[in-house]
A and B are shown apart, each in its own frame.
Chain A
């Protein structure tokens, strides 16, 4: 009876865990950690959406119907795509100590079309001052809810920092980082440390 109950419990948990969200939108993502002379200032994101989603969203924001997103249309696009993501930190998760940093704002938002795909460029602003000792961060760009399947190219992630800032970085999986336990097992992060 006990083994039967264990089996049933296993099935219960197993099948219930299948009830998660699944991807309906696909995006190729590149990231760049940005620093100024005072420290870490944010993550530059580039999201290239799949053609199907791009067409739907461009049609929603392209008021003059010229196939380009300009001026106020860009503001509309920003509200449509990034607005609902504000509560989720725009899917930019930066581990600092034992917590995630809260995104301060979106900067330098722009939209362009490339081979039918909508490409969003924007910086998610954070603020971590540099000291004379190393400060460490882990940057992850991923949709934890799996509605958008984000393929983040961490291998080619880059850093933009002034010469006065000493920055070291490398991409790796998130194994062992308990703060990221809810993320997919193959999610990669950008490990950073910096000092003045």
Chain B
């Protein structure tokens, strides 16, 4: 009996040794576009081991982006669990639901593509008041979330449960228009900066009046403060893209016959996202105030203002371009 077992074991080992598929590390040559379809690396391959070779420990690092994305995934799972609990009659879960919505909103807005670049770019280009920083951050977010709720509810009334495919089609169209307008906003800011430079060189004093003796900016002669209609325009153009994350959660509640909860959830996610975007708005205004204060009495003050305005315009243009090309790449 022992001999039979031994024979079987030997046979199994022999089969393993000649196994056609092996999980083993091999040399991929120089790290470039290395995995070429050649035999070049064959000579450098470590002699084959009979069976599964222990993997070389790989040091894994996660980017901040991945950490934020992973946390959102966890929160989404907790969110669905809370909704299911409420559907089963456990209404104590509503507090958990609301808390998750708030944190989810804050984290979601922390990811790329929620207008933070636009807010920062705008307030580098234009001098702003604190309340304008708050207004732009909040305006973009409220438009972004509420446009999602509105579009979803309209389409839900038409398509019922099959709404999401239609929502995606509508969203893609709005995205393209929005990102093109964001690029245009950036171009306009750059044009304004160039116009101010030309006018100041002609001596009309439109941008910043320069003390002819010292070459410094006089008190009260800083570039003009951003206009409210500009703030509203930028918020509308940037935020009009409906947020698919909010739409999906609203739809999930609707499909579970929880209409009021869907709206409440959307509102709290909106508040969470607003907190993040407003923080960026305030930081951007503070940054621009710092530039103004630090450079007001220097000889190169007007140059600094011009560079800041140009940089802000370029930030907004490049942001729109990246979003547009990313979206274009996805769906074309």
Contact = CB atoms under 8 A, between A and B. Distances in A.
A185 B65 CA distance: 10
A137 B319 contact: no
A5 B112 CA distance: 25
Nearest to B248: A52
A175 B28 CA distance: 12
Most buried by A among B60, B70, B311, B329: B311
Contacts of B8: none
B20 A147 contact: no
B188 interface: no
Interface stretch (B138-146, B215-223, B229-237, B301-309): B301-309
B224 to A, nearest CB: 20
Interface of A: 1, 4-5, 8-9, 11-13, 15-26, 50-53, 55-57, 59-62, 65, 80, 84, 87-88, 95-98, 116, 128, 133-138, 144-147, 149, 151, 159, 161-173, 175-179, 184-186, 191, 193
Contacts, number: 227
A69 to B, nearest CB: 13
Q: Interface size class for chain B?
A: 35 or more
Interface of B: 20-26, 28, 31-39, 41-42, 45, 48, 55, 58, 60-63, 65-66, 69-70, 72-73, 76-77, 79-80, 108, 111-114, 116-118, 120-121, 124, 161-165, 243-245, 248-249, 251-252, 255, 300, 303-304, 307-308, 311, 314-315, 318-320, 322-323, 326-327, 329-332
Contacts of B25: 170, 172
Contacts of A133: 38-39, 42
19 contacts: A1-B300, A15-B120, A15-B315, A22-B111, A23-B111, A24-B245, A52-B249, A56-B255, A59-B161, A96-B35, A133-B42, A134-B42, A135-B37, A166-B20, A169-B22, A184-B65, A184-B66, A191-B28, A191-B35
Contact of B33 (A56, A98, A161): A98
Contact of B60 (A59, A96, A186): A186
Question: DSSP majority for the A interface?
Answer: mixed
